[in-house]
Amino acid sequence: MAFPERFSNLPEYAFPRLRALLDHHQPGGAPVSMSIGEPRHEMPPFLADVLNAHLDGFAKYPVNEGIPPLLDAIRGWISRRYDVSLQHENLMVLNGTREGLFNAALALCPERKAGHVPVILTPNPFYQVYAVAALAVGAEVVYVPATEETGFLPDYSALPGDVLNRVAIAYLCSPGNPQGAVADAGYWRDLIALSEKHDFRIFADECYSEVYRETPPPGALRVAADMGADPERVLSFHSLSKRSNLPGLRSGFVAGGVESIRRIRQLRAYAGAPLPEPLQHVAAAVWADEAHVTRSRALYQQKYALADRIFATVPGYRGPEAGFFLWLKVEDGEAAALKLWREEGIRVLPGAYLARDSGQGNPGKGYIRVAMVTPIDELEEALKRLRNSLYR
């Protein structure tokens, strides 16, 4: 029996790797999970009422591109948040952004670019679906370091011209996972200008956009509109998982040019898994409400202050600009994760599991990712124990 080769070199996914590293050891204290970015703040209080009002929708096949009330709610949110006016044809509802980040590459990556195998760029470290999408379309993945030296954002402009000419898609996560770096308007302008010079698309993964310290991160769509860029140049991906503490709802969207969205919709009509209609009604209500987002963000801002205080004396500590991960320097991420589990029962993710060795070493090896998703009293105790275990 033959099997495909294209995914044969994929490493084990991050969380099975973590289980293999830790689970045959006893925790050194009451377990505290800080490895998964699963928000645990309060969900919007009106979910049950909206869901109950639309239960009959489970008896129908869902609308592929999104029901009009949901598309209207997303349009309204984009207008309020970014002052960008879009139509339904610019939007595609997703079953979570991971689905969209994968399927958009299938729908939009050309088979050849400049007469060669296309290149897909990804930051390194990165959200692992970027690499799998590139492999699925037969593209060459180029991992671009996003390290302290580059402000934890990839410097795509430093790549050789012959590589840039073959680029079909560049992924960029802002606010970044895992480092929490934010691409400012200047960074977006430079990247969009680079994409226009070398004719590639930007997939802007902005699912952490509503978790920040003080200043809302700028949006790729706003910057592109200000530049008068080709509307097909940038696709922006958003989710309710982080914004609204609803990772289990599996609701997100992609916004972009009409032709790009048409092609994504067409592919999804054949092979997608649309969000059930009752859940689309729930999502519409959630996108229309900001009060729960403001409350949740205030809790994260307290957590930033807490982490800054606890790690103030740790050499090299850098608090995140946005998002809810700490990206902490250690000598070796795997060794640090194992030590924390065996001594304290604290579960964190080795940074190397989120990156690749691209010939210059693995840029995540000397880090751990710590998810600040637990209640703040539990978080304070866990962070103090973590500091005392690793940095005393």
Segment 38-77, tens digit of pLDDT = 999 999 999 999 999 999 999 999 999 999 999 999 999 9
Sheet with 367-371, side-by-side order of all strands: 325-329, 367-371, 349-350
In the listed set 289, 305, 338, which residue is the last one of a domain according to the structure? 289
Mean pLDDT value of segment 299-314: 98
Residues 247 and 155 in one domain: yes
Domain-embedded: residue 212? yes
Segment 143-188, tens digit of pLDDT = 999 999 999 999 999 999 999 999 999 999 999 999 999 999 999 9
Distance separating alpha carbons of residues 100 and 105, to the nearest angstrom: 8
In the listed set 262, 289, 316, which residue is the last one of a domain according to the structure? 289
Q: Is the pLDDT of residue 358 over 90?
A: no
Residues 21 and 72 in one domain: no
- DSSP H stretches of helix in 247-332: 258-271, 277-287, 291-310
Domain-embedded: residue 253? yes
Domain-embedded: residue 54? no
Say which CATH number the domain at 300 has. 3.90.1150.10
Residues 124 and 25 in one domain: no
pLDDT score recorded for residue 251: 95
Q: Is the pLDDT of residue 122 over 90?
A: yes
Mean pLDDT value of segment 233-246: 97
Distance separating alpha carbons of residues 61 and 273, to the nearest angstrom: 10
pLDDT score recorded for residue 6: 87
Nearest to 205 by CA among 94, 110, 367: 94
Percent of the chain scoring above 70 in pLDDT: 100
- Residue 221 near residue 183 (C-beta atoms within 8 A): no
Residues 246 and 120 in one domain: yes
Residues 302 and 200 in one domain: no
In the listed set 289, 304, 332, which residue is the last one of a domain according to the structure? 289
Distance separating alpha carbons of residues 385 and 341, to the nearest angstrom: 11
Q: Is the pLDDT of residue 3 over 90?
A: no
CB atoms within 10 A of CB 379: 22
Which tokens is 384 given? 């103090």
Mean pLDDT value of segment 114-120: 96
pLDDT score recorded for residue 2: 85
Task: Name the average pLDDT for the chain.
Answer: 96
pLDDT score recorded for residue 9: 82
pLDDT score recorded for residue 5: 86
Residues 149 and 274 in one domain: yes
Distances 148 to 15, 152, 308, 327, 355 between C-alpha atoms, Å: 25, 5, 18, 11, 14
Residues 145 and 164 in one domain: yes
CB atoms within 10 A of CB 110: 11
pLDDT score recorded for residue 4: 86
Percent of the chain scoring above 90 in pLDDT: 95
pLDDT score recorded for residue 1: 87
Q: Is the pLDDT of residue 273 over 90?
A: no
DSSP secondary structure string for all residues of 72-134: HHHHHHHHHHH-----GGGEEEESSHHHHHHHHHHHH--S-BTTB--EEEEEES--THHHHHH
Which tokens is 1 given? 């029996």
Domain-embedded: residue 9? no
What is the enclosing helix (H) or strand (E) of 351? none
Q: Is the pLDDT of residue 325 over 90?
A: yes
Residues 175 and 314 in one domain: no
Domain-embedded: residue 2? no
| pTM of the predicted model as reported, rounded to 2 decimal places | 0.97
Enclosing domain of residue 205: 59-289
Residues 201 and 323 in one domain: no
Say which CATH number the domain at 195 has. 3.40.640.10
Please classify residue 132 by burial: count the beta carbons closer than 10 Å to its beta carbon, then call 0-12 exposed, 13-18 middle and 19+ buried: middle
Residues 247 and 341 in one domain: no
pLDDT score recorded for residue 38: 93
pLDDT score recorded for residue 203: 98
Residues 155 and 200 in one domain: yes
Domain-embedded: residue 157? yes
Domain-embedded: residue 24? yes
Q: Write b or e for each residue in 175-211: b if 16 or more Cβ atoms lie within 10 A of its Cβ, otherwise e.
A: bbbbbbbbbbeebbbebbebbeebebbbbbbbbbbbb
Distance separating alpha carbons of residues 376 and 127, to the nearest angstrom: 26
Where does the pLDDT of residue 392 fall: very low under 50, low under 70, confident under 90, or very high at 90 and above? confident
Q: Write b or e for each residue in 12-47: b if 16 or more Cβ atoms lie within 10 A of its Cβ, otherwise e.
A: eebeebbeebbeeeebbeeebebbebebebebbeeb
Distance separating alpha carbons of residues 358 and 377, to the nearest angstrom: 40
Q: How many domains does the chain have?
A: 2
Distance separating alpha carbons of residues 84 and 388, to the nearest angstrom: 47
Which tokens is 373 given? 């998703």
pLDDT score recorded for residue 11: 87
Domain-embedded: residue 8? no
Residues 311 and 178 in one domain: no
